Structure 1
Amino acid sequence: MHRQRAIIRTLGLAAAVALSATACGPQGSGAAPAAPSAPPAGSSPAASPSAGDDKPGEASPSASPSQSPSSSSSPSPSQSSAPGPKPLMANGDESEQVRELQARLRQLKLVSTAPTAFYGSKTTAAVRTFQSQHGLAATGSVDEATWQKVQGLSRKPTDEELRPPTTNEVDAPDPRCMQGRVMCISKESRTLAWMIDGKVVSTMDVRFGSENTPTREGLFQVEWKAKEWTSTIYHTSMPYSMFFSQGQAVHYSSDFAARGYAGASHGCVNVRDKGKLSALFDQVKVGDKVVVYW
């Protein structure tokens, strides 16, 4: 019993230390993590996403005699039927091939937003429209026939088409953005819209965390602000920080301004237009809503 209590106390202390840091900074910046320090008064601790959890219901199969089929049993039709071919790209995928698909669909005037490399609802709808136009099964997923048709009717995208420097078109606001003062942040269009009572006041391009350090989605509020701030883990500058979910914040990123979507944050919402963010920082108040959605 004494040993169990000691383990619990040790784990509790380790968790408290891990949750106390503001962990944002550009991926691949080369800065080695330092020992975390506590955020200023009024801030919330930063939670680290866990990696390696099994998906619910996906237990490892175990071989037991009672589970082995007898030699006289025959498989049911549902067991013997082979699954159909897996689509090349489908809703929920994220890859450079998806980025190319989106750039080609943009050439064909089926999407207007800049490529994001994430296959979301807009890409699904555009693919379904393309398939309907060309006599293909309108599944919204890209199979081999659809991909060949898209490639045949478009040209190989340029680097600028894959990662355009221009401002992204703002996505339709999430319903939670339609009341009050809200930073409405769309992961699909990679935009931030500052909205007051359903009216868009200003917009700007944003960048998010990588697959291993994702930006949290949901309804939040601005917990605290800092015009000048430095990551306590990565020692990178985070000007105009507006913290909304423990250690995650909206802030200016010189790395985003320089490299664009070739990089990623460690979970924060990066903004590359310093002038726009400076003006927004002056308007946003602690307690204002933040909505992050696909």
Structure 2
Amino acid sequence: MMVIDKVTDLKKYVKQERFSAAKAGRELSVGFVPTMGFLHEGHASLLKQAREHNDLVVLSIFVNPIQFGPNEDLDRYPRDEKRDLALAEREGVDVVFLPSVQEMYPQPTKTKIAVSELTDELCGASRPGHFDGVTTVVGKLLHMVSPDKAYFGLKDAQQVAVIRQMVDDLNFDVEIVPCPIVRESDGLALSSRNVYLKEEERKQALILSTSLREAGDRIKQSDSVTLAEIRESLTRNIKSQPLAVIDYVDILSFPSLTQVHEDAQMRDLDGEILIALAVKFGTTRLIDNILLNPKGVVTHV
């Protein structure tokens, strides 16, 4: 496994590998997993898919400062380079791109990629500018790696939708592959930020996955239930935990992320529905979601 920290070295390496494969009469498929490090089994699941479907697997580890707001956790975002590299090697990664902030942004950036409309809801509404930072850095990384496929977890379903829109609109030659949420045995969605949770906060945070599962079961049992009823039930369940502070509980069409009339019944809807939550426990903000079709069948969890 190679560790590269320079953009020029990364681009040169990928080009050389493609050239060598072409000389041997074959095409080289490149899979890419962009991360902010402090890797867990959710990231490992992305790497497993990338390894299964590609000849060359590139992992990036970069805590991107321009996607953090002024009062967010950039300085204390968890980092463990040694553990990250061990996990990457275990999963058969070929190249780890581990750049510095100076390498990624050698001068104050005057150019950004901004996706409109899809970023007006959910985390985009409560974290202004966040997705501009995400799309800008992902756009840069896709340009540097030039992968055939890039893998993203659906725990941040809005991010998946936004990046797919960017790729489509700007004609990036890459397939965005969404991957299912990976959970702890008790249902808590894996997140690098889970390490912040105190014992009681983590215990109460289980209400997120429990409430989402109950919402899916209710829809499956009765397609006449309205979105307003689902939202009210979710909100009530989450508020039953004294440490929970709700940022949002929302139900949107997916992947357009457009609002659906709250009086609508599930049986009247077409396509997938995203039920998404963002809730703070202490200082830790957690997100979770499920994607369902109108019959309540969970398409991704």
- Using the size of structure 2 for normalisation, the TM-score is 0.23
Instruction: Pick 1 or 2: higher relative contact order, CA cutoff 8 A, min separation 6.
Output: 1
- Using the size of structure 1 for normalisation, the TM-score is 0.24
Which has the greater radius of gyration?
1
